[in-house]
Amino acid sequence: MVQISNNGSGGGVNSSTNGQRQGRPGDCIYKDFMNRKPITFNGVGGIMALSQWIEKTEAVFEICSCPEGNKVKFVACTFSERALTWWNGHVKSLKLVVANSMGWENLKQILLQEYCPRGELKKLEQEPWGLTMIGLDITTYTTRFSDLAILFPGIVALDSKKIERYIWGLSP
């Protein structure tokens, strides 16, 4: 069960207003957020899945102009399976009001610590140096190389070095 509190604020919709927005015009309400179809995060897939979820979620925040005070409580509704269990445990230890007020940047850091252990990050940081194309599967190689270049932009900062590293990993 996702534990999210509206506490009577946050621009909710109620029957006395016939579905009209509460609060300032243009405020993002939960319905706006969910209408943008944010993807769920289940806590599986490591840093790649988490990074993609964060990128998509931030795009939804931007589209619906979600205020900082609503981000954590709205995004908690996208947790499922392992991530939902983790979140509910986190809420129990912090209390709901504190968990919902932690801020999006803090939540991202906590999620990175939980779902991307330092050992995994270290391995991923080294992967570009040993990445090579297997057989003739250039699509898989290119996708993985691109993903790693996005995750760790500082590893091969110059475009010329990035191209050189990419070519090195191609099959003859």
Q: Give me the chain's average pLDDT, please.
A: 80
In a domain, 43, yes or no: yes
Q: Is residue 35 scored above 90 in pLDDT?
A: yes
Tokens of 10: 């946050």
Q: Give me the phi and psi of 71, to 5 degrees please.
A: -60, -50
This prediction's pTM: 0.63
Question: In angstroms, what is the C-alpha Rg of the chain?
Answer: 20
In a domain, 84, yes or no: yes
Instruction: Please report which helix (H) or strand (E) contains residue 142, including its range.
Output: helix 138-151
Q: Would you say the C-alpha torsion 119, 52, 54, 99 has a positive or negative sign?
A: negative
pLDDT in tens, 84-141: 999 999 899 989 889 989 999 999 989 988 888 777 777 877 887 888 899 989 999 8
Q: Are residues 51 and 97 in the same domain?
A: yes
pLDDT in tens, 36-92: 999 999 999 888 889 889 999 999 999 999 999 999 999 999 999 999 999 999 899
Q: For tokens 């986190």, what's the residue?
A: 90
Q: Are residues 108 and 84 in the same domain?
A: yes
C-beta neighbour count of 50 within 10 angstroms: 20
pLDDT tier for residue 18 given thresholds of 50, 70 and 90: very low
Q: Are residues 93 and 28 in the same domain?
A: yes
Q: Are residues 149 and 131 in the same domain?
A: yes
Domain tally, the chain? 2
In a domain, 58, yes or no: yes
